Amino acid sequence: MFWATVAVIVGIALTVLSADKFVEGAASLASRLGMSHFLIGLTIISIGTSAPELFVSTVAALNGSPGLALGNALGSNIANIALVLGATACIFPLIVPGPLVRRELPILLLISLILYALAYRGIFDLSAGILFLTVLPAVLYHLTKKELAAEEETEIHSLPIGFSIVLTMGGLLILLGSSEALVWGAVEIARFFGVSELVIGLTIIAVGTSVPELATSVTAALKNKTDIAFGTIIGSNIFNSLGVIGIASIISPFAIEPQVLQRDLPWTLGLTLLLFLMARFSVRGTLTCPYGILLLLLYVSYLWHILATIVPNQ
């Protein structure tokens, strides 16, 4: 139990740190190879905040723990809205960008509904995974085609090409190793407490892998760039729903536990709908501290709901 706890704590820390360094190195390398800053921001950096969820869920699926992968994806989506946006709104009022209400949030709502509907089949299998991964690039293109004309440059730190390669490869290797350690520790903790891997994925792992989103959102809000804070959360949730779950479904098809249908998916859909309504009808189009407190209280309520509905492993 002691080493499993150490593996989870160190694994989360190294996963977050190595993901950041991997993205920094890859972005610098891509820039030096002639890739535009906008395209780098659209691909490497935008997906970078979801790298911990992606790698942890992929390793979990490869190791035969798809419940942990699903819990990580859904738990991260819930934490991103209720915990990350809630905490950020308490620190700094978040001005809601117009396109968020017209385009991004409706698409995220639709994706959540599709995810919910497919879950009622009782399994996320190869066909579901292929569907998710096919829809993902189409959604990303639709969300970004209007921004392509603006060609707003993304700030990229220029690094020596040798150092960029070292950062990229080193970050990737540490990311893989720390993900492996994190998954092992999470499985051992689940076995020790007699709870499902899904619960560990929804709580400890989900909060840990949401640290990049929290750091990015708070930093952006403090710089009065609240559109970045919203964009980080919406983009991450879309990638988690389609990319992370899609890859896990292809690697290791898995049955949907009853708790997911009765508890986690309703919370995911409900919080997404609530965020849309708050963004649409908030006073002066701003999410202020009271909204943030409401979201944080809802996250506490969700954790309580998990505790109240835990089904011990037999």
Q: In this predicted model, what pLDDT tens digit does every residue of 54-64 receive, in sequence order?
A: 777 888 888 88
Query: Structural domain boundaries of the chain?
Result: 2-308
Q: In CATH, which superfamily holds the domain spanning 2-308?
A: NCX, central ion-binding region (1.20.1420.30)
- Determine the residue type at 278: M
Structure confidence by residue, pLDDT tens digits, 90-127: 988 888 877 778 888 899 999 999 999 999 999 999 99
Interval 144-169 mean pLDDT: 60
Contact in structure between 217 and 27 (CB atoms under 8 Å): no
pLDDT at 42: 45
Angle at 68 between CA 66 and CA 70, to 5 degrees: 70
* Residue of 234, 189, 259, 258 whose CA lies nearest to 12: 189
Cα→Cα distances 88→277, 279, 286, Å: 18, 15, 12
At 119, list the tokens: 């879950």
Sign of CA dihedral 208, 212, 213, 216: positive
Contact in structure between 118 and 278 (CB atoms under 8 Å): no
At 143, list the tokens: 């969300």
pLDDT at 147: 52
Instruction: Please state the pTM of the whole predicted model.
Output: 0.81
Buried-state track 29-39, b at ≥16 Cβ within 10 A, e below 16:
bbbeeebebbe
Question: How many C-beta atoms lie closer than 10 Å to residue 195's C-beta?
Answer: 18
Question: Is a pLDDT exceeding 70 seen at residue 43?
Answer: no
Position 267 confidence tier, pLDDT thresholds 50, 70, 90 = very high
Q: Residue 99 CA to chain centroid, in angstroms? A: 21
Contact in structure between 93 and 204 (CB atoms under 8 Å): no
